[in-house]
Structure 1
Amino acid sequence: MKKNQIDSLKNVVKNWLIEIDKTEILPSDIIALSFNLYMPYGLELVGSKSYDEEDGDWACEEDFKPKQRKCPNFEVPYSLEWEEVLKIVVGILKELVTELSSTNLFSVKHIAAGFVDGDLIVIK
Structure 2
Amino acid sequence: MGNDESKPDFQTCCTPMEVFDKQKVKAIVKQWLLFIAEYETLPNDIIALNFNLWEAVEENGQSCYTLELTGSKQYDAENDDWACEEDFDPRERNCDALQLSSEIPWEEVLNGLVEVLKELKKELKVISLFQVKHITVGFAEGDLIVIK
User: Taking structure 1 as the reference length, what is the TM-score of the superposition?
Assistant: 0.95
Of 77, 86, 94, the residue aligned with 1:53 is 77
1:72 Cα deviation from its structure 2 partner: 2.1
In structure 2, what is the Cα distance between the partners aligned to 1:50 and 1:21? 21
In structure 1, what is the Cα distance between the partners aligned to 2:101 and 2:52? 17
Max radius of gyration: which structure? Answer: 2
- State the 4+ residue runs in structure 1 displaced beyond 4 angstroms: none
In structure 1, what is the Cα distance between the partners aligned to 2:96 and 2:65? 12
User: Taking structure 2 as the reference length, what is the TM-score of the superposition?
Assistant: 0.80
Whether the 8 Å CA contact 1:12–1:74 is kept in 2: the answer is yes
Deviations 1:33-80 (A, max 9, x none): 000000130100000000011100000000000000000210223211
Of 88, 91, 94, the residue aligned with 1:64 is 88
1:6 Cα deviation from its structure 2 partner: 1.2
What is the one-letter code of the residue matched to 1:17?
A: L
Larger mean CA deviation between 73-82 and 59-68 belongs to: 73-82
How well do the aligned residues superpose, as a CA RMSD in angstroms? 1.0
- Structure 2: state its 5+ residue gaps: 1-18, 56-63
In structure 2, what is the Cα distance between the partners aligned to 1:42 and 1:34? 13
Q: Is 1:80 matched with 2:104?
A: yes
Q: Is 1:7 matched with 2:23?
A: yes
What is the one-letter code of the residue matched to 1:33?
A: L
Q: Is 1:33 matched with 2:49?
A: yes
In structure 2, what is the Cα distance between the partners aligned to 1:101 and 1:16? 15
- Structure 1: state its 5+ residue gaps: none
Greater share of residues in helix: 1
Q: Percent identity?
A: 53
What is the one-letter code of the residue matched to 2:140?
A: V
In structure 1, what is the Cα distance between the partners aligned to 2:48 and 2:145? 13
